[in-house]
């Protein structure tokens, strides 16, 4: 059967609205903006202090805006999403199971793929809004300095892809259980594992070390932070997202036939 974009966006719109009928969206967005605002102010102050020291002691041009502000700011943003995404995704299917509305959803005249994609895009839209709100930081940088546009654009692309990987993990674990806390905890644990998996490369052999580095979500972000768009990194993130959604489909398909 052909997937209907209309059905996907109908489900996405319904779930997106439910974020704002509860405190979840407001708390997540407010917490995100407060933390990011503090980090931006701290990075900006530290950057100015470093450059003043460079000028005072005639040590050269100093630290660039890309190295001093942009890379650490968006790198920290990815860490924050690691903590916040579980709160965004934990309810998507777990709440449906707890309220026993999952049966109605499964028997509705829409495909299972459309349901999964709709819920994925609802959480994706919320993350996108959060990223759009951080657009004030590049505006401030361009108003007060001369930053490079490339690293800013690629950092946003990389952050959106990396966050989408977290979302795919979250949707998978939300489909496994009806307990939202369990779903959130499993999402955070899995996201942290794929974040830190490359740390084991020092004790692993060359073959395993290379594999663990490849599986690390953050290792594929490094090029984005440097202003580079690498097709292999994009392909990895898209494959990771696709695998998470595919496994979610298998879990819900088995649930439907119980």
Instruction: Determine the Cα–Cα distance for residues 26 and 137; give it in Å rounded to an integer.
Output: 20
For the entire predicted model, the pTM comes to 0.90
In DSSP notation, 52-115 reads HHHHHTT--S---HIIIIIHHHHHHHHHHHHHHHHHHHTTTTHHHHHTT-HHHHHTSSS-HHHH
Answer for the pair 82, 166: CB distance below 8 angstroms, yes or no: yes
If one counts every other C-beta atom within 10 angstroms of the C-beta of residue 104, the result is 10
Instruction: Determine the Cα–Cα distance for residues 255 and 102; give it in Å rounded to an integer.
Output: 10
pLDDT tens track of the chain, all 258 residues? 577 788 899 999 999 998 998 888 899 999 999 999 999 998 888 877 877 776 666 665 666 778 888 888 999 999 999 999 999 999 888 888 888 888 787 777 888 899 999 999 999 999 999 999 999 999 988 888 788 888 999 999 999 999 999 999 999 999 998 899 999 999 999 999 888 887 666 666 666 667 777 888 888 898 898 888 889 999 999 999 999 999 999 998 887 665
């Amino acid at each position: 059967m052909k997937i209907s974009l209309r059905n996907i966006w109908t489900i996405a719109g319904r779930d997106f609205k439910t974020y704002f009928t509860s405190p979840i969206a407001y708390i997540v967005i407010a917490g995100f903006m407060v933390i990011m605002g503090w980090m931006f102010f701290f990075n900006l102050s530290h950057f100015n202090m470093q450059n003043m020291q460079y000028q005072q002691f005639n040590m050269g041009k100093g630290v660039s805006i890309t190295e001093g502000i942009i890379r650490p700011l968006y790198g920290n943003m990815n860490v924050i999403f690691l903590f916040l995404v579980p709160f965004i995704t934990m309810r998507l299917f777990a709440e449906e199971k707890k309220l026993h509305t999952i049966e109605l959803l499964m028997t509705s005249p829409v495909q299972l793929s459309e349901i999964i994609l709709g819920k994925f895009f609802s959480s994706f839209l919320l993350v996108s809004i959060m990223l759009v709100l951080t657009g004030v930081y590049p505006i401030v940088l361009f108003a007060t300095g001369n930053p490079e546009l490339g690293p800013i654009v690629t950092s946003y692309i990389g952050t959106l892809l990396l966050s989408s990987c977290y979302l795919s993990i979250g949707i998978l674990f939300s489909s496994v259980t009806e307990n939202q806390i369990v779903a959130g905890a499993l999402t955070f644990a899995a996201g942290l594992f794929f974040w830190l998996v490359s740390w084991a490369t020092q004790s692993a052999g060359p073959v395993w070390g290379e594999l663990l580095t490849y599986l690390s979500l953050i290792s594929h972000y490094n090029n984005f932070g440097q202003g580079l768009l690498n097709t292999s990194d994009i392909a990895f993130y898209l494959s990771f997202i696709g695998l998470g959604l595919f496994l979610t489909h298998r879990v819900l398909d088995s649930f439907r036939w119980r």
